[in-house]
Amino acid sequence: MARRLYLSSPLSKTYGAGAKLLVIRAVLAFALAVGLCTATLADDRPEQIVAVEPLYGAFVVPVVLNDVLTAKFIVDSGAADVSITEDMVSTLMKSGTMTGADLLGSKTYMLADGTMRRGKIYRMASIRIGGMVMEDVTVRIAEGNSSLLLGQSFLRRLKSWSMDNARQVMIIN
């Protein structure tokens, strides 16, 4: 014969088991309501529309790094990470918005031409495009005079994004 285990609490002793269920239901309903409100607020953010410029068959978009440095980056969904130059790192370090503590290590990347390159990776405190700010983004330090790339370490964290070729804008959600 199976035994049943009954949990007792001061609430159920004083008001009965029904009161305990009522409290549990109220707590769950409150948690659900808070969750729905939060989800609604996140979905209610207006989309960001950012002007892009064509450049050698690609689009560039103005990007602000750590609220200090603005540059035009190629939107590159094929790049694993955002890619910046050593000069940019130097500028950010001089401004005090990036330190040696932001160095995360190094990583090997395959470039578009198939060559493999090892590069340092840093944590960027913030990257802003239009009104959209992303915090704690991984960036790769590119060699020499490489192109600035807005890669997947930024793009994959967006709910969605698209390019409107006719209007020459990037639409960010």
Q: For residue 10, name the pLDDT band (cuts at 50, 70, 90).
A: low
Q: What number of other Cβ atoms are within 10 A of residue 143's Cβ? A: 12
* Residue ranges in 44-173 assigned as alpha helix (H): 86-95, 152-155
Half-sphere exposure of 144 (CA within 13 A, CB side): 2
What pLDDT, on a 0 to 100 scale, did the predictor assign at position 145? 80
pLDDT in tens, 94-108: 999 999 999 999 999
User: What's the first-to-final CA gap in the chain, in angstroms?
Assistant: 58
For tokens 């029904």, name the residue: 18
pLDDT of residue 18: 57
CB 87 within 8 A of CB 157: no
* Residue 127, beta-bridge partner list: 65, 134
User: CA distances (Å), 110 to each of 1, 79, 104, 107, 118, in order?
Assistant: 65, 9, 19, 10, 9
**What percent of the chain is predicted at pLDDT more than 70?**
74
pLDDT tens figures, 144-156: 788 999 999 999 9
Tell me: the pLDDT tens digits for 20-43?
544 456 545 554 554 544 444 445
Q: Per-residue confidence at 158, pLDDT binned at 50, 70, 90?
A: very high
Give the pairing type, strands 132-142 and 82-85.
parallel
DSSP state at residue 101: G
In terms of Cβ atoms closer than 10 Å to its own Cβ (0-12, 13-18, 19+), residue 97 is middle
